[in-house]
Amino acid sequence: MTTARRGLAPVRAVLDNGAVVVAKQSRTTPAVTINAAVAAGTIYEPAGLDGIAHFVSRTIDRGTSSQSADAIAEALDGRGVSLSVAVNRHVLSLICTCLVEDVEPVLSLVADVVMNATCPDAEVRTRRAEIVTMIRQDEDNPAVVAVEHLLADLYGQTHGYGRRARGSVASVESIDRAALVRFHAARFSPRALSLVLVGDVAPDSAIAVATKAFGRWDAPAPPPVELPPPPSASGRRTRVIPMMNKAQVDVAYGFTSLRRSDAAYYAYWLMNNILGQYSLGGRLGDSIRERQGMAYYVFSSFDANVIPGPLMIRAGVSPANVDRAIASIDRELERLAADGPTEAELMESKQYLIGSMPRALETNAGIAAYLQTEEFFGLGLDYDLQVPGLLRAVTREDVHAAARQALRPSEATIVVAGPYAGHAR
């Protein structure tokens, strides 16, 4: 068992079966957040079964070897607990908050779901129809359409970072119970589990409850999956997807960025904050929203991950302003790449990112999400104490170098989705 001495000071234990448990006591409310992450995200999907990880997320809590879907629903609802199951590229997460007196039965139920899901046929049929409906809704949503096509264009449609997380109607219709059970058996293992418990429970007790729930689980370690690096950019590409029944156009403009483990991560973090986050959307917000009044929202985001994730700029604009908005994005990127940030901008963003940590770590759910990220990237139990120093050490030249490297309008991939029939470039 290991702990950090100050700051959040969570306690981390590795159970005999390889499962990792991280516990943090917080007495703000008489409640506990349970955040269980299994390395069973979309990158692990077998070829041709796009969307199976998401499909598992919709069926995993719909029946186990000892409990029906109705029994699980009653057990959770009766305690006021809503279990959210979400999936991203790398992990499938089961997250809920319960009253402290319910932590043992609720964790036991979460463990049963994680270990013994059976995905009954009737549930598979019902949830498949739900997923098809969700995919149809996505296809009618310009924001989703723009982002999904941007990722497919940046990484390729078959790459783990480029595939649609929910798959296609065709792929989902081809997934049956047997495929779901196979995926569950292949990827769910104590060695793929990271469990975080945050709330009004002493760490020793939390780890004891976790051991009781998961300690006897035995399943082989899942095999690793090869994740190729993203293809190199080869010039500027623009894709227009006309959706003439809509009122507003969504623009997604992006690049691939860098790995989370890259030493330049903190310079990129600050660069992104200055470009499209700080206050109302950073420099992009100043230009496109505040000065030109073109968009209700414009921002940038970046996802440094196991491989270089996307750096993305998003804007919602009227059809008449698409070309002007893209030109403004180009101009702001060129300016930051050419001149770097000002000393004042760098100082402000550092103050903001460091100063906002207490807010991010105020709630049980916020702390649990933070500790899961810490665990996933192997950042260390005292990472919350390291962050201020890591950010303060970044120089203006570091951020300028990050901007030069990342922000290349001539290499940008752009997707325009909405009531636009022009020829954006």
Partner 1 sequence: MATLERARAAVPHVHEQLLDNGLRVLIQEMRTAPLASVWCWYRVGSKDETTGFTGISHWVEHMNFKGTTNIPRDKVKGIIEQFGGYWNGYTWIDQTTYTETASREALDRMLFIESERMARCLYDPADCESERTVIISELQGGENDPDTVLDQELTAVAFKAHPYRHPTIGWLSDLQTMTREDLYAYYRRYYVPNNATLVIVGDVDRDDAMQAVIRHFGTIPSVAVARRPLTAEPPQFGERRLTLSREGTTAYLKVGYRAPALGDPDFFPMLVLDAVLTGAKGLNLWASFRTPPPQRSARLYRALVNTGLASSVSGGLVPTAEPFLYTLSLTATDGTPLGRIEEALLREVDRVRADGVTPAELQKAVHQLRARLVFENDSISNIAHQLGYFATIADWRICGSLEERIGAVTLDQVAAAAAERLTAANRTIGWFEPLPPGSSDGTAVLG
Please list every residue from 387 through 406 that binds partner 1, using CB under 8 A.
none
Stretch of 179-187, 213-221, 276-284, 389-397 lying at the interface with partner 1 (CB under 8 A): 276-284
Quote the distance between the C-alpha of residue 53 and its chain's center. 14
As a whole number of angstroms, the distance between CA 237 and CA 342 comes to 30
Window 29-58: contact mask with partner 1 (x via CB under 8 A): xxx---------------------------
Closer CB to partner 1, 16 or 130, in the complex: 130
Which 137-196 positions form the footprint of partner 1 (CB under 8 A)?
A: 137, 139-143
As a whole number of angstroms, the distance between CA 317 and CA 289 comes to 10
Using only C-alpha atoms, the chain has a radius of gyration, in whole angstroms, of: 23
Interaction between residue 323 and partner 1 (CB under 8 A): no
Closer CB to partner 1, 67 or 256, in the complex: 67
Please identify which residue in 34, 52, 76, 91 interacts with partner 1, judged by CB under 8 A: 76
Rounded least distance, CB 378 to partner 1, Å: 26
Stretch of 40-48, 218-226, 292-300, 375-383 lying at the interface with partner 1 (CB under 8 A): 292-300
Closer CB to partner 1, 19 or 34, in the complex: 34
Closer CB to partner 1, 244 or 421, in the complex: 244
Quote the distance between the C-alpha of residue 131 and its chain's center. 19
Stretch of 35-43, 105-113, 257-265, 285-293 lying at the interface with partner 1 (CB under 8 A): 285-293
Which 108-127 positions form the footprint of partner 1 (CB under 8 A)?
A: 125-126
As a whole number of angstroms, the distance between CA 126 and CA 179 comes to 16
Mapped onto helix, strand or coil, the DSSP state of residue 239 is strand
As a whole number of angstroms, the distance between CA 121 and CA 178 comes to 9
Closer CB to partner 1, 81 or 403, in the complex: 81
Residue 285 CB-half CA count within 13 A: 16
Please identify which residue in 223, 235, 293, 378 interacts with partner 1, judged by CB under 8 A: 293
As a whole number of angstroms, the distance between CA 249 and CA 320 comes to 9
As a whole number of angstroms, the distance between CA 120 and CA 68 comes to 9
As a whole number of angstroms, the distance between CA 248 and CA 419 comes to 7
Q: CA nearest 106: which of 82, 136, 132, 125?
A: 82
End-to-end CA distance of the chain: 56
Q: What amino acid occupies position 54?
A: H
Please identify which residue in 2, 14, 16, 28 interacts with partner 1, judged by CB under 8 A: 28
Which 345-364 positions form the footprint of partner 1 (CB under 8 A)?
A: 348, 351-352, 354-359, 361-364
Stretch of 158-166, 189-197, 217-225, 243-251 lying at the interface with partner 1 (CB under 8 A): 243-251
Stretch of 149-157, 183-191, 273-281, 400-408 lying at the interface with partner 1 (CB under 8 A): 273-281
Rounded least distance, CB 342 to partner 1, Å: 12
Residue whose structure tokens are 């919602």: 316
Q: Beta strand pairing status for 20-25 and 193-199?
A: parallel
Closer CB to partner 1, 127 or 400, in the complex: 127
Dihedrals phi, psi of 35, to nearest 5 degrees: -130, 105
Interaction between residue 228 and partner 1 (CB under 8 A): no
Closer CB to partner 1, 131 or 312, in the complex: 131
Closer CB to partner 1, 98 or 111, in the complex: 98
Stretch of 25-33, 41-49, 104-112, 208-216 lying at the interface with partner 1 (CB under 8 A): 25-33
In what order do the strands lie in the sheet containing 249-256? 237-242, 413-418, 249-256, 310-317, 295-302
